[in-house]
Structure 1
Amino acid sequence: MAETQPAQWSVQADRFVAARPETLWRVITDLEGMAEHLPGIIALERLSDDGPGAYRPGTRWRETRRVFGQQATEEMEVVVAEPHRRTEILAVNRGVRYETGFRLDPAGNGPAPQATQLRFFFTARPDAAAVPAGSGLGARLRRAAGRALERASAPLGAAATRRQMVQELEHIGRRAEHLAAGGA
C-alpha cells in the first residue's frame, strides 16, 4: 500500500507601504536590527560568517521568537535574495520544511514610484529529505511529521498564522515608512 503524504499549506498577507522597495529591503534584511523592530523576536544570532549586514543566499541565523504563546527557536537560511525584489528563507524542523518569503513590487505612478506593495508568504510541507526513504523508522517519522503538519494546518492554525504575519507586516511597514520620512 502506498503511503500518502499530507498536502502542503500556505498563507500569505499583503500590505501597501509608503516607502520605496530599496527602503523596505533594508528593513527586511537587517538581521542585526530585527529583534529591535519586530516584537515577536526574542533573540537573533547570525550563524554564517558572512559579516554584519550581509544578506545573500547562504546567510544563516538562529531566531528565537514567541509563537502562539510558546517560545520557538529555528535555524533559518536565505535561499533566494534578489535585492529590492524578493527573498526566500528556509527552515527545517521535526520533518517539516518551512518556506518564508517577501516580494516587493513598486507601487504608485511615475518612473520612480515612492511606494511598495509588500507580500509576505509562508508555506509548510513535509520534508522528505529529512527522513530516509524505505526505513521503518523513516516511515514512522514521515507519518509523525505529516500528523504534525496536519494539526498545524487546521483552519484556526492557518488563521492565527495569518494574523501574526499581518502584525509583522505592520511593524515592517511602519519601520520602512519611518526611514522613508527621514527617521533613523
Structure 2
Amino acid sequence: MPIPTITATRTINAPPERVWAAITDIGNAPHMLTCVLDVAVLTQDEFGVGYVWSETRRMFGKDAAETMTVVAMQPGVAYTAEACNFGARYISSFQVDPVGSDATELTFTFAAESVASARWSQRIMMRIFGSIGKRATHRMIETDLDDIASYIGRHG
C-alpha cells in the first residue's frame, strides 16, 4: 500500500542551471541540507542514471542511513532516486522549471510503497506511516527546499 505522494515547490531566485548544479552536487549535501549529516558517494560515475550514494540524515529525532540510486534523469530538468529499506521503496524526485528570466521553480516529490517481499509487520508499519508520518515528511521536504534556496542564495 503506498502512502500518499507528497509534493512541495519552492521558487528560487537563481537560474535553472544553478539550481540543477546544487541539487546534483550530492557530496555537498551535508553543507546544504540541515538534516543531512553525512554522504558517501558509492559510485565513480558522473551524476546520472545508476549514480549511487549513502545518505545519513536526522529524521524524527534519530539518524537514518539510506542508499539512494538515481533511476531516471532528464539532464538539467529532473531526476528520480530510489531507496529500499524496511520493506519499503522510497522514491524522491526533483524537477527544475524556469520562471521568468532569472528564477526557478524547484519541485520535490516523495512517495513510499511496500515491496512485494515486505513482511506483514512491515506492511502494517507502512499503513501507520501513511497516516501519521505524512505531515512530518512534508515538513522535512519543505525544510530541504528552504535549505536549498538559502544555500543557493549564499553561494550563488
TM-score range normalised by the length of the shorter chain: over 0.9
C-alpha displacement of 1:8: 3.5
Q: Following the alignment from structure 2 to structure 1, what is the Cα–Cα distance between the partners of residues 27 and 2?
A: 35
Q: Following the alignment from structure 1 to structure 2, what is the Cα–Cα distance between the partners of residues 7 and 63?
A: 23
1:172 alignment counterpart: 148
What is the letter of the counterpart of residue 65 of structure 2? T
1:163 alignment counterpart: 139
What is the letter of the counterpart of residue 105 of structure 2? Q
1:17 alignment counterpart: 12
Task: Identify which of 75, 80, 95 aligns with 2:87.
Answer: 95
Q: Following the alignment from structure 1 to structure 2, what is the Cα–Cα distance between the partners of residues 158 and 60?
A: 26
What is the letter of the counterpart of residue 43 of structure 1? D
Q: How does 1:62-81 map onto structure 2 within 5 Å?
A: 62-81=54-73
When normalised by structure 1's length, the TM-score is 0.80
What is the letter of the counterpart of residue 118 of structure 1? L
Task: Identify which of 100, 103, 106 aligns with 1:115.
Answer: 103
When normalised by structure 2's length, the TM-score is 0.94
What is the letter of the counterpart of residue 120 of structure 1? F
1:147 aligns with 2:147: no
SS in 2 for 1:62: strand
CA contact (8 A) 2:3 2:129 kept: no
Shift >6 Å, 4+ stretches: none
Aligned length, in residue pairs: 156
CA contact (8 A) 1:24 1:84 kept: no
C-alpha displacement of 1:87: 0.7
Deviation digits for residues 51-97 of structure 1 (CA, Å, limit 9, x no counterpart):
xxx21000001111100101101000011122221110000001100
Q: Name stretches of at least 5 consecutive residues in structure 1 with no aligned partner.
A: 1-5, 132-137
What is the letter of the counterpart of residue 123 of structure 1? A
SS in 2 for 1:8: coil
Q: How does 1:121-136 map onto structure 2 within 5 Å?
A: 121-128=109-116, 131=117
* 171-180 or 160-169, which deviates more: 171-180
* 170-179 or 92-101, which deviates more: 170-179
Q: Following the alignment from structure 2 to structure 1, what is the Cα–Cα distance between the partners of residues 151 and 126?
A: 33
* Percentage of identical aligned residues: 31
SS in 1 for 2:95: strand
C-alpha displacement of 1:173: 1.0
What is the letter of the counterpart of residue 15 of structure 1? R
Q: Following the alignment from structure 2 to structure 1, what is the Cα–Cα distance between the partners of residues 91 and 28?
A: 22
Q: Following the alignment from structure 2 to structure 1, what is the Cα–Cα distance between the partners of residues 77 and 89?
A: 23
What is the letter of the counterpart of residue 173 of structure 1? A
